[in-house]
Structures are given as C-alpha cells and as structure tokens.
Chains A and B, each alone.
Chain A
C-alpha cells in the first residue's frame, strides 16, 4: 500500500475554531494507505514544514496530503518544501478545509464531517499520483518585432539594449509608423520628429537590431522559445548596399502617384522615399506605379541616371526563415475610411473636408505645404475652421461603439495650432464629450479654449457647400437649438481601427482578436501585454486605441516580458500537461480538434501490429504548447490521452471516495 502522510492545519483558530481538527486527523489515520496523520497550529510555518520533513524521514512516507487553506494559496509552498525531500513535489494533494469548509459552515459537526470527506477525497486521489518531472524547452534568445511604429521601435530598442538580437519588421518602405507623420505631440507640444527620428536612427544603427522594411510575416510555426517564422521581403528594385541615398533618381522619375504618407495631399514619384527623414534613407521603386515595371513603357530613366547602378529591375521578393524565442505584435492602427460611412459630411467630395492626419501633414514642416496651413482646394489660408470629433467612434450605427481615446487631445492641439498660426482664425469644435485622462491633459484643453477655440456640445448632422462656404449644420445641445457654422475648412477627427491585415496575422500567430479586430490580450487588467499564446506579446495601438505615452509604456512592458523569457536558457514547462499512451490511441484526432492551443498533433509511428510492422497515426503532445486544461482528456473515449496531475484514475478515485 502507498505510504501517505496526512497533516491537518489549525491555521491558528481559522480552522480549529470552526471544526474539530483532532477528529479529522484521527479519521485520516484510519484511511487505507495512511501511515502517519498529525495536526499542527501553522502547517505553512517553518516548524510546520519541518514537521513534514521529519515525518517523511521517520515513516518513509512517499506521498503527502495537507488539509489546510486553498491550494491556490500554499500549493507552491508545499511543493517547494518537498523539493528537498525524497518525495516528488507532485506527490502532494491539498484539501481545502478553510475557505471552503471552516469559514463557510456555522455548524461545527457538519463542518468536521465535510472536512473528513475532503481529506478522504484527497487521500484517495494522492494514492493514484505518479511522480512528475518538469519538461524543459530550449529558448532561442532572438526576438521578432512586427510593425515599426513608435511601439515597435521602442520595444525593439529595449530588447536590443538588454543585449538580445531583434529583427524589426515593417510593412512600409520606412519605419516610423503614424507618429512620424505628426507635427507636434500633446500635451507638451514638442515636435514629433524631434523625439522620434533620433530613436529611428538609433534603431538603424543598433548592432543587435536587424531592420527589414517592406516585409511581412508569411507563416509562423513552432511554439514559445522556438517560433519558426517565414518572412516575405517585397522586392525594392534598388540595391540598398550600393545606393548612397543621393536622391538623383527621384528627381528624374516621370511617374506621379498619390503619396500615401502625405495622406494623398500630394503626389510622389515611382522611385521614392516616403518622407525626407525616412529610415532607411534610401528610395524604393513602387512596382504598381513604375512605368517600366507595369510594362507600359520602356522608361528606365532612374537606372540610366543612377551614378552607382543601384537600380535593378530584376529584383524578386525574398523569403527568409528564422527561429525566434518571442514575438512582439506592434502593428499599430489606421484611421477608419470615413467617406463611405458619412455621406452626410459630403462623402469625400469636398476636398476641404480633411482628416486629422491630413491636417497633420499640412501643418508639418516637411509636409506638402512646408507647414503653412493651406486648404487643399485652392491653397488659400482658411479663416473659419470647424473640427468635428468622434467621427466613426462611439457610434454603434456606424459600427464602432468604442471611444478612440486620443482624438479629444489632438483636436485641442489642432485648434491651438490653427489659432496660433493663422491670426484672426475662428475655430469651432463640435464635441460629444471631452476626455482628458492624462497628466497635464486638462490644462492643455483649458489653454486651447483660452486661445479662443469655441466648443459646441453637439453632433454635426450635415456639411454642405453654400456660396463658397462649407456650412456645418449641427445642434448645440446645451442651448437646445440648431446651429450652423460656415467654414473654409473642416477637420474630421476620425476613429482609430486596427491595421487591415491584422486578422490574418493573428490567425498565423494563433492569437485571437475581439469583434472589431483589436488583438485580444491575455487579461485586460493583469496581463495586458501578453496574449493567450505563450511567447507572443503585444504593444501599442494594435491592442486598442491609445495615445503615444501609453503606447511607449506598453512597448517597454512587452520588452520586459521578452527579457524575462530570455533570462533563462530554457523554460521549465509545468509537468501537469497531457500525455498519450500510444498503444491505446487509435488516431481519431478527437483531441486534436478540441485543443485550444493546437498542442496535440497526429504523428505517424512505426508500430508492430498483428499483421506485421505498419505505420499508423497517433496523437503526440507538444510539451511547450500544452497549458494543461484537460479538454483533450475528457474528449478521448478510450482514455489514451490523459492529463498528468488530474488523470482519469485520480478523479475517479476522488469521486468514489466522496461517496464511501
């Protein structure tokens, strides 16, 4: 018979006060297989733990039951205790006779009887425990950061500074994301380029960071510590090793196409750098607009002009595969395409109705208008400007109920900039609410109003052109009457949405998104930068609308998580994972389907059967991915796959013990 030791804890008077601990210990003593039963005032104390060690030595115990508080409290304490005794830490069961017995039952007799039952269940279960040993998974100390906006840059820098190799991927031809498009940043109004370009150059120069622009994730396999990632780098048609970035080709290129970076306010050439301070500071050729690549004309001017022959029209996409220990998703946000959603605001036919980002490009010194606020239609200086907030946000009818969080602040910034740069300008802001949750945010909002911005509480119902003016008809809910404000230019603060291809990326990483497409964090409060797939972290606006301070904070947190993972050469996987008995498994893949982590796969094995040696399919558990939920064990009809620590035999014995 197994040699079990039962220890009943008084927990001061918490347990002893509510039930008869001596009787529980006595009853435990008579159970089959129990060789030693005792009770003590504080089992989790130093003396309590010593009592266990002595009993193990004296009675050659091979398994332990502690009747005390909840296992969620001290299971690890007692497991660590067993580490330096001959008993395996997993030959331990805890009977919860405090939170679920002593504290919740007034009748002392019934509480004692229940405690005896709970101890009997624990003893019956521990009899079937087997020694378990942790499995160790090697960790490749190399991180992959997807998306090189401020979030990706910050995370990559932090990880690289910690001494680990980082590969930073960016879909566009330059890093910087949306932040580098902005002019000033709230609430301190320091210039966006001044705080982001140094970081961008630091990234380009950092020995540990491999920067790959124009690259996306093709496929992700493997598991935490060992992700096998295939990356597709789009053809650049410019050899960046030879090119010095002189820009001669850009001046000669005949093709003109709208510039995505400048929010279609101006055009760019086929061979281009999105903006002057781009990193890497070398141009690429856009295959959809280059006349030679489309095959419309022979062109090739840039190749002829280039002094170093860096142009190469035969360039092909490259597929690079590598193994990474951790992945940080920092794919950022995009602005909603407001035109089809808001026909009442002109649906995009008025060129003077622009988005916040388009305004940022107008007011930016390196923008198409070198910083002068000129309205796109006739390049004149707008005197009357209307700013409309919550365009697409907080509006279930338009499909997004959430608040995009940062627009209240940057609309105040826009108002302040217009009033400062255009003397005598009149700015009207239509708002639902103004949310200023950060440090110095409220003061910034007050300053905007002191500068003369007129805040009207109400939603704009219609924008239409009338004798040269854009009339914004809305309602002033505070005064309770309609209002019409004529404007030369209207700025719509549109909603943030996740990047378009976020759902496929999440599918590749086996992480989930919410109904809008924001990446699902492991736990909103306790694990905001982790996902439910071990080894995949997230930072910045991909997880939900947020402003730059929060984004940078999250980027640092994600980097810290990666560094924790990389601090050890191998990860100790919990041993309470599933295991397959191969001669019982018939390969019906019921378990493969129910596993939330895709940790169980069918594998072909050689097997000796009655009809000789054959190949057959059996389930195989990947120790790295399995989180020990047990869905597979319950789905397996023949009990071939079982969850160690909660095996079928253990639970059956526990159920039987309850009813004796």
Chain B
C-alpha cells in the first residue's frame, strides 16, 4: 500500500490515541526516541544516539513493592500502558529480536519484558542514511527491510510504501485505511559505509583465540571500563536487581548494568571472577560475537555503530572484527 508523506501527521495522531507514541526526536541535542508531542519526527539523517531499548527494557524498572515487619507482603507492579515505537530502523528491529529471544523464548519467560513486548506495536522504516560507523549489512541485516516489524514503511520519495508483517500490524493498518492508496514502492538501496569481515565461521573461531593474551592486551589497552558502550548499545540487556528501602518498606527494581563495571562480578567475600579490563572487554566482545550465537543462532551485535561513535577511548568493534578475522583465518 502507499501513504502520502503529507498525511504522516494524521497517521501519528491515530497512533497516539490512548497510547504512548515514541518517535525519533531531539531532547537537548541528543537524538533519541521521545514521546511524540505533535512535531514532525526526525526520520532521516543518522540513527538515534540512544537506542529504543529504553522503551521495552527501561533503565530502571520497578518490579515489586514489599513490606517487612509482622505482616510482610510482596505485591508485583503490573500496570503497563500500550506503546508504539515509530521510526525504528532495521538494526534496532534486530536488537528487539535478540531481546525477545533472551527474555521470552529461552528458559524462563521474563513477565515484565513479555508484558511490555505484548503491548508494544512497532512501526519500522527503511534506513534513509547510514552513519559513518554503520555495518549492519556485514552482520547479516538488510537495512532496507525489517521482516519482524509489525508495520514497515519503505521510502518512495513523496510517499511511503506500507506493508504489515504481522496480524497486529494488519489490524492497525485498517485504522489507516482512508489515507492508504494502492500500489507499492520500490525497495530503497541504502548501503552501509563499513563492511568488517564478520562471518559465521569467524563467530565459531573466536572462542579459539580466547587465550591469545598478546592480542587481547593490545585490543583492550585503551579501554577505560566505563559503561558507555553497554548503555548506548541496543542489544546489551544485562541488569542488576536492587531494593530501595524506605524504613521497613520499599520497592525492588531492576536497572541497567554493564559487564564493564568493576563490581559486576564482585562476589561476596571479595573474590572477583573478572578483575581486569582485559577479561571484561574480552567477555563483552566474545558474548556479542560468539557466545550469543551458540545459544540463539544470531550475533548479539546489529552493526548500528553507536558504540564506535560514543566510545571515549575510540575503540572500534569493526576494527576488532577485521583484526580477529585476519588472525583467525591463518
């Protein structure tokens, strides 16, 4: 189907009825997914700096309230509003697939995430401008398609090609009926600017170089062990559980955590299983490019390049891939 770009605002107001609509926009100079307040979303240009991860897997999520003392009781916090993520690109869509695989499909089902995911409608859009650090193609993605999104908009100059991939997407499209016209739009042809030599065999071989200390020392040298890469990465899903106590009662919450922090693996009694930054960054890279693959069949890196642009020490996962590819194949 086709949608005239002029009618985009009307579509957005349809989407925003009684639901929280998140669109890419500027918040004090930082492009991120923000609540839509009627302005035109920034769909083109580079991808958002902060991923949409915060919507499905919030920075701080209250899990349950508790009371101690004689009548101790625990009450789960359940209310979840309906949400819509509009203007998602292929790489962020893949990150949601990864998180679905972790939180829903494997082992226990994480009820918090599952509930949020069930109440979220995702409207993806074809990638209109690859950033200088993008390499999603070499991670096996097609920037111009998002098969697992509910609705996908492809860019046709003055109009969007609209197609629904899921029944929920189709149901939603019915509401757009009056603005849709027949006809489809050719697939756009944006390509990534980077192409690191990532491949399925490299993913297998990576665990082989686990003990190559000299390589790891050189790769992890400049790292300053901050959490920037974890918190701007769309697929990092590690979290910490904590309790905010207010004198005998309070809230238990989970919040983002980063494997790069020094107290991440701090056991009671002082022993730390990964005390040095070499071990921690090695674990991060291997988890993204190898370990996750063994369990879920896809890499945990979607090639969005956010960690490359934001790393204070200018570390670069794409360069890492090229270097290890070179080391692994000989």
Q: Does B26 contact A (CB under 8 A)?
A: no
Q: Can you name 6 A-B pairs with beta carbons within 8 Å?
A: A31-B247, A32-B69, A33-B248, A583-B270, A610-B276, A660-B246
Tell me how far the C-beta of A487 lies from the nearest C-beta in chain B, rounded to whole angstroms. 84
Q: Which residue of B lies closest to A30 (CB)?
A: B69
Tell yes or no: A1 within 8 A of B by CB. yes
Question: A residues engaging B (CB < 8 A)?
Answer: 1, 30-33, 120, 124, 583, 610, 656-657, 660
Cross-chain contact of A1 among B68, B270, B276 (Cβ < 8 A): B68
The distance from the CB of A193 to the nearest CB of chain B, in whole angstroms, is 73
Q: How far is the CA of A120 from the CA of B247 in the complex (A)?
A: 9
- Determine whether B275 belongs to the interface, using a CB cutoff of 8 Å to chain A: yes
How does the 8 Å CB contact mask read for B262-298 relative to A, with 1 for contact and 0 for none?
Answer: 0000000010000110000000000000000000000
Does B247 contact A660, Cβ atoms closer than 8 Å?
yes
Q: How distant is B12 from chain A, measured CB to nearest CB, in Å?
A: 42
Q: Can you add 17 more A-B contacts, CB < 8 Å, to A32-B247, A33-B248? A: A1-B68, A30-B69, A31-B247, A31-B248, A32-B68, A32-B69, A32-B248, A120-B247, A124-B247, A583-B270, A610-B275, A610-B276, A656-B246, A656-B247, A657-B247, A660-B246, A660-B247
Interface residues, chain B, CB within 8 Å of chain A? 68-69, 246-248, 270, 275-276
The residues of A that contact B270 with a CB separation of less than 8 Å are 583
Interface of B is mostly: loop
Q: Which B residues lie within 8 Å of A124 (CB)?
A: 247
- Closest chain-B Cβ to A614's Cβ sits at a distance in Å of 15
Roughly how many angstroms separate A583 CA and B272 CA in the complex, as a whole number?
14
**Across the two chains, which residue of chain A brings its CB closest to B270?**
A583
Nearest Cβ on chain A to B67's Cβ, whole angstroms: 9
- Of chain A, the residue at the smallest CB distance from B69 is A32
Q: How far is the CA of A610 from the CA of B272 in the complex (A)?
A: 11
Residues of A within 8 A of B275 (CB): 610
Most chain-A CB neighbours within 10 Å: which of B247, B270, B275, B276?
Answer: B247
What distance in Å separates the Cβ of A660 from its nearest Cβ neighbour in chain B? Answer: 5
Q: Provide the bound-state CA to CA distance between A583 and B248, in Å.
A: 31
| Residue of A32, A583, A660 with highest tally of chain B CB at under 10 A | A32
Nearest CB of chain B from residue A6's CB, rounded to whole Å? 14
Measured between alpha carbons, how far is A108 from B212 in the docked complex, in Å?
Answer: 75
**Chain B residues with Cβ under 8 A from A33's Cβ?**
248
Assembled-state Cα–Cα distance A583/B247 (Å) = 30
Q: In the complex, A656 Cα to B68 Cα: how many Å?
A: 17
Chain B residues lying within 8 Å of A30, measured Cβ to Cβ, are: 69
Q: Tell me which residues across on chain B come within 8 A of A583, comparing CB atoms.
A: 270
Question: Which 4 pairs from chain A and chain B are nearest by CB?
Answer: A32-B248, A660-B247, A32-B68, A610-B275
Alpha-carbon separation in the docked complex, A31 to B275 (Å): 40
B262 to chain A, nearest CB (A): 11
Residue on A with the closest CB to B249?
A32
Q: Nearest Cβ distance between residue A29 and chain B, in whole angstroms?
A: 10
Q: For residue B68, which residues in chain A have a CB less than 8 angstroms away from its CB?
A: 1, 32
In the complex, which residues of chain A have a beta carbon less than 8 angstroms from the beta carbon of B69? 30, 32
Distance in angstroms from A118 CB to nearest chain B CB is 14
A contact residues around B276 at 8 Å (CB): 610
Q: How far is the CB of A617 from chain B (nearest CB, A)?
A: 20
List of B residues within 8 angstroms of A657 by Cβ: 247
Q: What is the CA–CA distance of A298 and B68 in the complex, to the nearest angstrom?
A: 96
With the chains together, A33 CA to B247 CA distance in Å?
10
Q: Which residues of B contact A656 (CB under 8 A)?
A: 246-247
Distance between A550 CB and nearest chain B CB, rounded to angstroms: 57
Q: How far is the CA of A657 from the CA of B245 in the complex (A)?
A: 11
* B55 to A: closest C-beta gap in Å: 32
Name the CB-closest residue of A to B68: A32
Tell me the smallest distance from the CB of B1 to a CB of chain A, in Å.
Answer: 57
CA distance A411 to B240 in the complex (A): 84
A660, B69: Cα distance in complex, Å = 16
Docked pose: A583 CA to B266 CA in angstroms = 14
**Cβ–Cβ < 8 Å partners of A1 in chain B:** 68
For A32, the chain B residues whose CB sits under 8 A away are 68-69, 247-248
In the complex, what's the smallest C-beta–C-beta distance from B220 to chain A, in angstroms?
A: 14
Instruction: With CB as the reference atom, state the residue of chain A lying closest to B276.
Output: A610
- In angstroms, how far is the closest chain A Cβ from the Cβ of B243? 13
Q: How far is the CB of B324 from chain A (nearest CB, A)?
A: 25
Beta-carbon nearest neighbor of B67 in chain A: A32
**How far is B247's CA from A31's CA once the two chains are assembled, in angstroms?**
8
Which residue in chain A gives the minimum CB-CB distance to B275? A610
CA distance A1 to B247 in the complex (A): 12
Distance of A1 from chain B, by nearest CB (Å): 7
CA gap between A33 and B248 in the complex, in Å: 8
CB distance from B242 to the nearest CB of A (A): 15
A30→B70 CA distance, assembly (Å) = 9
Q: How far is the CA of A124 from the CA of B68 in the complex (A)?
A: 15
- With the chains together, A124 CA to B245 CA distance in Å? 12
Q: Which residue of B lies closest to A653 (CB)?
A: B247
